[in-house]
């Protein structure tokens, strides 16, 4: 990852999911939720998730808009394949004012993939090797279309395939290692469940703990009904020292549990025990 990344603050990221199938409800956007979870665990703050269609104007304008906010990272998924509606890298080239050209290394990646299947290159397959000038192709261990990485001032942009298993493999193989080296932040997490107390009754208690521990993220997730409430509570904290992050999040959790049980008795249980 380039030296343009600022190391004195927590990295932040915007996700852009590309595909008409997402907008018409034919495909659930699991890529965004998977990436958000992985990035959060790497200490990266995901600031925005945007879903757009396979349209060059939409893609290029969305990228330019994201760049105007100067995120550390932009990760795009979808639109790297061989068909007419795979336009992500062309849209990226337009957004950055760069030419879209066949990248020799990317072409070799595509060629080797098809050779293992006894197939030769076609125009549609060569299309998957076209990238904005200056982009770096990333090996796709499970598919034919390489991913791409390119810098724009202080932002690193990744374009990944939309097929979930391919996207996940590339992220785990290459991108997560880069990000972990530069994020500098460790995450600590804690969860528990509350039985028999409505979320509306918990809200002021959670707010009180948030005031005392502003660096801790606290989120309540209702799982039961108003008549039989079950609330899952999730807390996390980030720090460059993982032990400090763990101490902070456990202190906040203990304080929250203490306040809840002072008011409602023994209602807090480990999240693993889901039978209560």
Average pLDDT of span 123-150: 96
Superfamily classification of domain 186-270: MTH677-like (3.30.300.100)
d(CA 65, CA 217): 28
Distance of CA 247 to the CA centre of its chain: 26
Domain span(s) for CATH 3.40.980.10 in the chain: 12-183
**Which residues have a Cβ under 8 Å from the Cβ of 274 and sit 6 or more positions away?**
193
Phi, psi for residue 160 in degrees, rounded to 5? -120, 155
Domain span(s) for CATH 3.30.300.100 in the chain: 186-270
Average pLDDT of span 36-59: 96
Phi, psi for residue 37 in degrees, rounded to 5? -65, -45
Per-residue model confidence (pLDDT) at position 68: 98
pLDDT at 2 over 60: no
With tokens 């306040």, the residue in question is: 259
CATH number attached to the domain at 12-183? 3.40.980.10
The more confidently predicted of residues 271 and 171 is: 171
Q: What is the mean pLDDT of the chain?
A: 92
Q: Read out DSSP for 4-30?
A: TS-SSS--EEEEEEE-HHHHTTSS--H
d(CA 101, CA 113): 20
């Amino acid at each position: 990852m380039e030296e343009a990344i600022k190391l004195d603050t927590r990295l932040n990221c915007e996700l852009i999911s590309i595909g008409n199938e997402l907008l018409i409800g034919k495909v659930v956007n699991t890529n965004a939720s998977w990436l958000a979870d992985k990035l959060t665990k790497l200490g990266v703050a995901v600031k925005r998730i945007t879903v757009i269609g396979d349209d060059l104007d939409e893609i290029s304008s969305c990228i330019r808009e994201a760049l105007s906010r100067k995120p550390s990272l932009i990760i795009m998924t979808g639109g790297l394949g061989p068909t007419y509606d795979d336009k992500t890298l062309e849209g990226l080239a337009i957004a950055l004012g760069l030419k879209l050209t066949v990248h020799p290394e990317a072409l070799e990646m595509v060629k080797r993939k098809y050779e293992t299947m006894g197939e030769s290159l076609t125009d549609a397959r060569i299309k998957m090797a076209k990238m904005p000038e200056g982009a770096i192709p990333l090996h796709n261990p499970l598919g034919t279309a390489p991913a791409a990485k390119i810098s724009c001032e202080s932002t690193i942009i990744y374009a990944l395939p939309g097929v979930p298993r391919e996207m996940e493999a590339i992220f785990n193989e290459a991108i997560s290692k880069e990000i972990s080296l530069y994020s500098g932040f460790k995450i600590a997490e804690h969860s528990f469940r509350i039985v028999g107390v409505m979320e509306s009754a918990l809200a002021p208690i959670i707010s009180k703990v948030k005031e005392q521990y502003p660096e801790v993220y606290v989120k309540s997730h209702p799982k039961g009904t108003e008549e039989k409430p079950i609330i899952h509570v999730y807390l996390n904290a980030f720090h460059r020292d993982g032990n400090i992050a763990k101490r902070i999040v456990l202190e906040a959790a203990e304080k929250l549990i203490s306040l809840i049980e002072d008011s409602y008795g023994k209602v807090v249980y480990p999240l693993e025990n889901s039978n209560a």
